[in-house]
Amino acid sequence: MNLALFDLDNTLLSGDSDFEWSQFLIEQGVLDRELFEAKNLAFYEQYKAGTLDIHEFLDFQLKPLSRHARKVLDEWHEEFMRRKVRPMMGDKARQLVAQHKTAGDVCVIITATNSFVTAPIAREFGIEHLIGTDPEQKNGEFTGRVAGIPSFRDGKVTRMESWLAERGWNWASFAVTSFYSDSLNDLPLLSKVKNPVAVDPDETLRKHAQKQGWPIISLR
């Protein structure tokens, strides 16, 4: 039995669903462009540079969820999938996922992006298992706070190992463990698996992958 882990944004997707969700809300007039667009861009640049304060970002990202009913958010998300997400889902990414599923591998998307945004995307890829940053909920509605450990940097390793333990597994339960990612932020988890794969990597990850002899591929 093998384990295949996939980062989502700029890996399986040719873009960032977190960033695009905020942009979508700005375009819908839900968020004020003047107040939110510059902040959204700044957080995205910090993420790419490896300097993001995840809790500051989550406060920015999750607060808007608490201001609207879940039913309304779900309706917006359907439009978001149509306009923003599906155009970022390329054939090569779909083929990679299909290859692992056909081989009978356990497939998991593990992403820092919150699970409200990413759960429908995981379903669209046909991947049953998702580990994302979980927004806190009360009576089915979002509170604007995060629940548990964000799935980011070392937190991805913690969340992954908890997920495995819940199922009676550990890293040694699998003949091959693979993780596909584009980001320097995923170096902690990439260093845990037997087969780390850099996908259209940022410059820091590219240099690290070349030094370590890790495969470098493109899904674009």
Q: Which one of the listed residues 9, 16, 105, 182 is annotated catalytic?
A: 9
Calpha distance 136→117 (Å, rounded): 14
Active site residue 91: no
Q: Taking phi first (over 0 means left), then psi (-120 to 50 degrees means alpha), and beta for anything else, what does residue 139 get?
A: left
Q: Which of 7, 105, 182, 202 is the catalytic position?
A: 7
Query: What's the rounded Cα separation, in Å, for the pair 51 and 104?
Result: 37
- Note if 200 is an active site residue: no
| Residue count (the chain) | 220
Q: Which contacts qualify for 151-158: CB closer than 8 Å, 24 or more apart?
A: 151/110, 151/111, 151/112, 152/52, 152/54, 152/112, 152/185, 153/54, 153/185, 153/186, 153/188, 154/188, 155/54, 156/110, 156/112, 156/131, 156/186, 156/188, 156/189, 157/188, 157/189, 157/192
Question: Active-site positions?
Answer: 7, 9
